Amino acid sequence: MKEILFAAALSLLFPALSAPAGEKALELKWAQPEPAGHPWTNIGEEICKEIDRRSGGRIKITQYPAGQLGSHLELVEMLRTGSVAFHTSGPAALNAFDERVQIFNIPYLIKSKEQAYRIYEAEVGQKMFNDVILKRSGIRTLQFWYFGTRTLTLNRPVTKPEDLAGAKVRCMEMPIFKDAISSLGANPTPITFSELYLALQTKVVDGQENPIPTIYAQKFYEVQPYIILTNHTVHMGTVHISEMVWQRLSKADQDLILAVFNEYRPRIDEAIEKDAVEKLEVMKKGGVTVIEPDYEAFKKYSLAYMMERYGEKWGDLISAFKALE
């Protein structure tokens, strides 16, 4: 009886999965946090079309950009139940299942996207994401995606950590993000991302930190006159799939999806890097002042702060990450 009820529940969640092969396309939802025009969303649309083409129309993935389907935390639960198939997020969104994923957000620890890819693909990364977290959450991580290098925007000029004293800088409601902002010299202030533009406009917070493509896509430059190129975190996104959905795909379809994502990853890198250069110039021409601060001062200050809090706790992981530089 339990098996019958479970099968019935799955058929309600995934009517296309329960249909006989060839009769109806498998329709899957993909939650994207970024709006149309951002490289993640643009390349994601190409991936959807390519999977549709290669599957002969059997697999149809529809993107929902700009956080239409919910917050990161809400979408984690939707992945677990299978009501959303794909979600592009970040490692820290899975911290409830393994707090160590927050290590990816320690400023100045990861030097490049190539190092981040090596970490993810190595045993240390795969064990974390597709063993420990997968077993605890029912969420599979398909790939790392480059998001850009996080940098500051502010309503005042700064060149060194001491200049940020008293500045309220937006962060996510997670310990590592609060500590990251503190490590730059500012006061961490949690604000929901959807409310951030208004918070900057009304000076509830003095600044925020994100990669250049996101600063442009979210129009933060309209309400922040200064961009401070601290370049403190090489930010990697994570592309997830509901394990419930994954296990109901054939091996051939799993391989097809992985192949397309792998082929398009370099396109993400190229688009993010191109966007970062072009959009920074656009914002400069629009009147934003771009400041190159004392990078070494920020790096030294930040790493000292973060290692005091996490160096002993996550020492083995930090050593493993450094070995893959």
H, E, C per residue of the chain: CHHHHHHHHHHHHCHHHHCCCCCCCEEEEEECCCCCCCHHHHHHHHHHHHHHHHCCCCEEEEEECCCCCCCHHHHHHHHHHCCCCEEEECHHHHCCCCHHHHHHHCCCCCCCHHHHHHHHHCHHHHHHHHHHHHHHHCEEEEEEEEEEEEEEEECCCCCCHHHHCCCEEEECCCHHHHHHHHHCCCEEEECCHHHHHHHHHCCCCCEEEECHHHHHHCCHHHCCCEEEEEEEEEEEEEEEEEHHHHCCCCHHHHHHHHHHHHHHHHHHHHHHHHHHHHHHHHHHHCCCEEECCCHHHHHHHHHHHHHHHHCCCCHHHHHHHHHCC
pLDDT digit string (tens) for 88-112?
999 999 999 999 999 999 999 999 9
Residue 24's pLDDT band, with cuts at 50, 70 and 90, is confident
pLDDT digits (tens, 9 = 90+) for 152-167: 999 999 999 999 999 9
CA angle 263, 80, 32 (to 5 degrees): 45
Tell which residue, 18, 29, 42, 65, has the closest CA to residue 268.
42
pTM (2 decimals)? 0.86
What pLDDT was estimated at residue 73?
Answer: 87
Chain length of the chain: 325
Q: Mean pLDDT across the stretch 315-320?
A: 97
* Confidence band, pLDDT 50/70/90 cuts, at residue 28: very high
Say how far residue 292 (Cα) sits from the centre of its chain.
25
What's the confidence (pLDDT) of residue 173? 87
What is the distance of C-alpha 249 from the center of its chain?
25
Q: What is the mean pLDDT of residues 232-240?
A: 97
Please give the share of the chain, as a percent, with pLDDT higher than 90: 87
Mean pLDDT, residues 254-278 taken together: 97
Q: Which domains does the chain have, with CATH numbers?
A: 2-323 (3.40.190.170)
- Cβ atoms of residues 276 and 212 within 8 Å: yes
The pLDDT of residue 17 is 40
